[in-house]
């Protein structure tokens, strides 16, 4: 059953954010991930929009998503991520 990774970031350092995004994208390639969206905030249609940027990535399943998130390659980026932005990371599983 497919799983989706959603990230929402409030950017603190745009240069570091670009570095993080490029390096994080490289870590996805070995986990069967398919990036679906990487975009900047446009408007709040209902409620408040606090994130500057949002990303959505599809994985074949939740196990693959967790394997990517827990991988040494991705976890090595945590200091850069935390310096670049305040990020919320969410995982969703889609029933068959």
Q: Is residue 81 part of a domain?
A: yes
Average pLDDT over residues 25-53: 92
Q: Determine how many CB atoms are found less than 10 A away from the CB of residue 8.
A: 18
Domain with 82 in it: 3-41+51-93
pTM reported for the whole predicted model: 0.89
Predicted local confidence at residue 51, as pLDDT: 82
Instruction: Give the Cα separation of 96 and 46 in Å (integer).
Output: 29
Q: How many domains does the chain have?
A: 1
Q: Is residue 86 part of a domain?
A: yes
Q: Is residue 46 part of a domain?
A: no
Alpha-helical (H) ranges within the chain are 14-28, 62-70, 72-75, 78-84
Q: Is residue 73 part of a domain?
A: yes
Q: Among 57, 62, 70, which Cα is nearest to 29's?
A: 57
Residue 96 in this model has a pLDDT that exceeds 80: no
């Amino acid at each position: 059953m497919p799983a989706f990774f959603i990230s929402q970031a409030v950017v603190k350092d745009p240069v570091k954010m670009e570095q993080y995004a490029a390096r994080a994208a490289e870590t996805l390639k070995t986990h069967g991930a398919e990036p679906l969206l990487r975009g900047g905030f446009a408007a709040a249609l209902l409620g408040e929009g606090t994130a500057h940027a949002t990303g959505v990535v599809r994985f074949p399943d939740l196990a693959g998503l967790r394997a990517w998130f827990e991988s040494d390659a991705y976890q090595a980026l945590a200091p850069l991520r935390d310096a670049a932005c305040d990020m919320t990371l969410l995982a969703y599983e889609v029933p068959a």
